[in-house]
Amino acid sequence: MGFLKLSFYFSNLFLFIFYLYPGSIFGCFLYNDCNTQPKLTRDFTLDYMIISSNHVYVFVIFSFLGILSFKKYLKKILYYLFLVSIFLELMHIIIPNRGFEVADLLGNVLGVILSLMLYKLFTFRRSK
């Protein structure tokens, strides 16, 4: 098994742990407050729509690893990535101390889309 696939599998594990933990693991360590979520940058705002920047960054990295690891099965990995991005945010409805937010869901989905666009851009430029 290659380094990319192993990285993707571990990123799956960490993503599920961090998303399904009832609170913020980073907040527990950084602020000694499990209810505070650290922000890397301000959220993206488009007119009346807010998109979580943290979620975009996480899903760009996660999705890009997945696409590179399983590029032979691009359609299947994209289904998986979109399913995970939606499933994990919907789970916040039932997890204590977490809440479903449309901004987070949009960030997850946008991260998958951006990673696909980056992959297509790199493969297009490579083929020329």
Q: Which tens digit of pLDDT belongs to each residue from 59-97?
A: 999 999 999 999 999 999 999 999 999 999 999 999 988
Q: What are the residue boundaries of the structural domains of the chain, listed by start?
A: 3-7+40-127
Q: Give the whole-angstrom CA distance, residue 91 versus residue 34.
A: 18
| Element of type H or E holding 108 | helix 102-127
Distance of alpha carbon 27 from alpha carbon 117, whole angstroms? 32
Cβ contact 63:116 at 8 Å? yes
pLDDT digits (tens, 9 = 90+) for 40-69: 899 999 888 999 999 999 999 999 999 999
